[in-house]
Chain A
């Protein structure tokens, strides 16, 4: 394989097994000597590092610029307040009162552009941290970790994905849901693996994810986790929509228990290691067919 491929592992519903699939797929590929990076994009609750032991390489902060108002220069004209689209400036003109609500600020810089009196300067504001760990000579784990209390993980996720461009295979462990953090993650992917469970909640969220990916023009396949628990509706849906079932992971207390301890099934069991290698080959074929 010469070409590069970016695969996002996602799910509408939380807790379906994104991290289980991502970490095991990554592990199987790195053991096979492939050039692979795993980006933990679930910046609100990153967990991949609990399953993979590596050497810390380096880290960097994700910052945004937020305004600081020099009250001595401010004329209380209110133009910055008018420019702010996020209600991040508390302004009472008559009372000559102005304050930046830092939690609401998105760092867009509009208020600085608005101010004609040089009363607004900017300072750095920490949004999150990106850390890189080397797992083996050819493989890297990149963790996006949002700072607690920050309103959105999106800037941290974008910075993490950007730093992963060197590997031939990039795996993105996506945040749950179908809102902005999910879109930002899958936007850069060539192929999306949706992990679901065969329950009404799982199916409902799967349908929403599939519809979203369709509107983005992304190719996807599905992994059913905890198969055997629940009913058959998810399989009927996949058949009807002609979405490939990439893999089925049975509900097994042994798998659940190993996972709870941070043990990778692809390390414990050669059969599973093989299955995850086959999973990659299947995805690669699917993507190859769909992109030709």
Chain B
């Protein structure tokens, strides 16, 4: 059995990734939903998954100085490339925010005053929700390496799908175009980019397509709230057509999306007969058919 992994991403934040992922995850019975927006995971708010499994994620390391051993020689300052070590009033101090965790200072310190501590506050959760299984990650504030946490969430999602005989994995991705986005789309069957008809939306879409095209993935676009600026929506559609990327649907602005969220439901659960739900259903069918 082959899994079908569909990743929903968007360069720009707030275009409606989670709304659309939630709808896709409730259009057919029994899916695995992976919330890979580990920096701001939100889908658990709608689906209240059980926590059958919780794993600690070590996101990296930070250097700390043992003041009893440090001679304040300042040699580590010369080696640090992240400007994370300063001398303030004759005392050598590490700026935790800037430390990248490379461990070089700890290695070169002749009196072994610097040690590395793990950053281990981030978590991966796995469990069940009303329409199947759900996996999500939560990156602790200020920590990095979210790309690796995304890898772990996706691996768990695949294992869960295999163990439970589930074919479809819906992935809600993070915004931006950096490492966590690359981890989200690497090796998936389908990438759906959600955009909105604004100048920012078009600009971010271009950068996002530039990233996804490096992976030679089947990419399609959804224009959300298209009626807020129909001219811009057309411009985006023309741009996508010129790259042979299909705009699979254009969704109107509708308050029902917010009402669904307030009721802790996906829009297709809350208002199955609304125009937006019907359009999402058709779009999902189209994506599924490209794969089979």
For A110, list chain B residues within 8 Å (CB): 102-104, 107
Q: Which among B125-133, B142-150, B243-251, B270-278 touches the partner chain?
A: B142-150
A237 at interface by CB-CB < 8 Å = no
A257-B142 contact in complex given A108-B102, A183-B97, C-beta closer than 8 Å: no
How many angstroms from the CA of A92 to the CA of B139 in the assembled complex?
33
How many angstroms from the CA of A113 to the CA of B82 in the assembled complex?
16
In the complex, the chain A residue whose C-beta lies closest to that of B262 is A231
For A199, list chain B residues within 8 Å (CB): 258, 261-262
Q: Are A259 and B40 in contact (CB under 8 A)?
A: no
Instruction: Please encode chain B, from 247 to 291, with 1 for each CB lying within 8 Å of some chain A CB and 0 for all others.
Output: 000000101001001101000000000000000000000000000
B56 at interface by CB-CB < 8 Å = no
For A113, list chain B residues within 8 Å (CB): 79, 104, 107-108
How many angstroms from the CA of A178 to the CA of B11 in the assembled complex?
17
Q: Give chain A interface residues in 48-89, CB to chain B under 8 Å.
A: 50, 64-65, 83, 85-86
Q: How far is the CB of B83 from chain A (nearest CB, A)?
A: 8
A256-B179 contact in complex given A15-B13, A44-B11, A110-B107, C-beta closer than 8 Å: no
Q: Give chain B interface residues in 52-74, CB to chain A under 8 Å.
A: 61
Q: Are B200 and A151 in contact (CB under 8 A)?
A: no
Most buried by B among A179, A205, A229: A179
How many angstroms from the CA of A229 to the CA of B258 in the assembled complex?
7
Which one of B98, B175, B182, B199 lies within 8 Å of A50 (CB-CB)? B199
How many angstroms from the CA of A155 to the CA of B204 in the assembled complex?
20
Q: Are B13 and A176 in contact (CB under 8 A)?
A: yes
Q: Give chain A interface residues in 242-279, CB to chain B under 8 Å.
A: 253, 256-257, 259-262
A106-B13 contact in complex given A148-B211, A176-B175, C-beta closer than 8 Å: no
A183-B107 contact in complex given A45-B207, A200-B45, A201-B261, C-beta closer than 8 Å: no
For A211, list chain B residues within 8 Å (CB): 141
Which one of A45, A201, A204, A230 lies within 8 Å of B11 (CB-CB)? A45
In the complex, the chain A residue whose C-beta lies closest to that of B180 is A179
Which one of A13, A83, A148, A204 lies within 8 Å of B107 (CB-CB)? A83
Q: How far is the CB of B217 from chain A (nearest CB, A)?
A: 15
Q: Are B258 and A208 in contact (CB under 8 A)?
A: no
Classify the interface of chain B: helix, strand, loop or mixed: loop
Q: Are A204 and B45 in contact (CB under 8 A)?
A: yes
Q: Are B255 and A260 in contact (CB under 8 A)?
A: no
A152 at interface by CB-CB < 8 Å = yes
Q: Are B18 and A201 in contact (CB under 8 A)?
A: yes
A215 at interface by CB-CB < 8 Å = yes
Q: How far is the CB of A179 from chain B (nearest CB, A)?
A: 5
Which one of A14, A83, A108 lies within 8 Å of B100 (CB-CB)? A108
Instruction: Please encode chain B, from 183 to 211, with 1 for each CB lying within 8 Å of some chain A CB and 0 for all others.
Output: 00000000000001111110110010011
B220 at interface by CB-CB < 8 Å = no
Q: How far is the CB of A100 from chain B (nearest CB, A)?
A: 15
Q: Are A47 and B204 in contact (CB under 8 A)?
A: yes
How many angstroms from the CA of A212 to the CA of B139 in the assembled complex?
12
In the complex, the chain A residue whose C-beta lies closest to that of B45 is A200
B229 at interface by CB-CB < 8 Å = yes
Q: Are A151 and B178 in contact (CB under 8 A)?
A: yes
A175 at interface by CB-CB < 8 Å = yes
For A215, list chain B residues within 8 Å (CB): 141-142
Q: How far is the CB of B208 from chain A (nearest CB, A)?
A: 8
Q: Are B14 and A229 in contact (CB under 8 A)?
A: no
Q: Are B142 and A85 in contact (CB under 8 A)?
A: no
A12 at interface by CB-CB < 8 Å = yes
A13-B142 contact in complex given A45-B203, A45-B204, A262-B199, C-beta closer than 8 Å: no
B81 at interface by CB-CB < 8 Å = yes
For B146, list chain A residues within 8 Å (CB): 179
How many angstroms from the CA of A243 to the CA of B174 in the assembled complex?
28
A180 at interface by CB-CB < 8 Å = yes
How many angstroms from the CA of A262 to the CA of B231 in the assembled complex?
13
In the complex, the chain A residue whose C-beta lies closest to that of B46 is A200
Q: Are B177 and A44 in contact (CB under 8 A)?
A: yes
For B196, list chain A residues within 8 Å (CB): 15, 260
How many angstroms from the CA of A61 to the CA of B264 in the assembled complex?
46
B113 at interface by CB-CB < 8 Å = no
A152-B42 contact in complex given A199-B261, A257-B229, C-beta closer than 8 Å: no
Most buried by B among A113, A150, A151: A151
B15 at interface by CB-CB < 8 Å = yes
A187 at interface by CB-CB < 8 Å = yes
In the complex, the chain B residue whose C-beta lies closest to that of A108 is B102
For B101, list chain A residues within 8 Å (CB): 85
For A13, list chain B residues within 8 Å (CB): 13-14, 40, 42
Can you name 27 A-B pairs with beta carbons within 8 Å? A15-B13, A44-B11, A44-B175, A45-B200, A47-B12, A83-B104, A83-B107, A86-B102, A108-B100, A108-B104, A109-B81, A110-B102, A113-B79, A113-B104, A146-B178, A148-B207, A149-B214, A151-B147, A175-B176, A178-B141, A179-B39, A180-B142, A201-B42, A201-B261, A257-B228, A261-B199, A261-B232
Ranked 3 nearest A-B pairs via Cβ:
A14-B13, A15-B14, A108-B102
